[in-house]
Chains A and B, each alone.
Chain A
Amino acid sequence: SISKDALLSVKNKYDLRRADRYTAIVMASAVQACADAGFADCAMADTGIIIASSFGPHRTTFAFLNDILDYPEDQVLPTTFSHSVHNAAASYVASSLQIRGPTISLTGFEDLWFDALELSDVFLNSGCCQRIVLVGVEELALLTQSLPSILPDSFHCRLLEGSVALLLSSTPEGKNYTSITCSRRSSCGEKPDRHSSCATANDFLGGAFQTALKALASSNQPGTTISIG
């Protein structure tokens, strides 16, 4: 699993005393993507944030629900409740990196990474903002760790945990790894059996890592384009 020290260093740097683990995972990748592009520790105007996750902060959500079962309603922790909100991590990124722009959290179980990239493309092309911090994240908790045994047909392999952040821009800037395009393929007939390769949840985070890997691989070849379908 992700080392506690790595998350602790991010929490200490940005004084995230009460942030939950999910937020720290999101922050670790988002901070690094901005630093990689040369925007570290400075306000980024006209920048949007899109955070995509199939399960979101479910560790915190269940912690809050467990508290509701164990304690009277007026004695549960408001801090746990506020972090159980799906958009909390995006707000932390906006606040810590002083990013001003639209802030969106996406969730879903099919083609989530593609949806997130496509939404980023729409935001940039429509002039809604000049940059997008796009984060794909998945945190493992009791539910997600148990899924292969609870639903072996849908989740036949162990889920991945991690986070990938891309700083996307409408014009070349920063490291300028590559350009990226999204095109939705029209589906005819039945979808292929996705379970034969991997669980859809893993497809999401795996897809995010693959996009980052392709971008890194293309950094030595300027002018290349990654096409996501």
Chain B
Amino acid sequence: MFISGIGAISASGIGTENL
């Protein structure tokens, strides 16, 4: 299977740039 999109939320906020 393939990863087509990523999303995340943590204390640092929403968005993959926070990962």
Contacts and interface: CB of A to CB of B under 8 A. Distances in A.
Nearest to A40: B5
Contacts of A212: 6, 8, 16, 19
Interface residues of B, number: 16
A80 interface: no
Contact of B13 (A6, A31, A125): A6
Contacts of A121: 1
Query: For the complex, would chain A's binding face be called helix, strand, loop or mixed by DSSP majority?
Result: mixed
A32 B7 contact: yes
Contacts of B7: 28-36, 164-167
Contact of B11 (A29, A161, A179): A161
Contacts, number: 125
Which among B1, B5, B9, B15 has the greatest number of chain A C-beta atoms within 10 A? B5
Interface residues of A, number: 52
B3 A28 contact: no
A22 B16 CA distance: 19
Contacts of A33: 5-7
A168 interface: yes
Contact of A162 (B3, B4, B9, B15): B9
A163 B8 contact: yes
Given A1-B11, A2-B11, A216 B5 contact: no
Contact of A176 (B2, B13, B14): B2
A124 B1 contact: yes
Interface of B: 1-11, 13-16, 19
Interface of A: 1-3, 6, 10, 25, 28-39, 120-121, 124-125, 131-132, 160-181, 209, 212-213, 215-216, 226
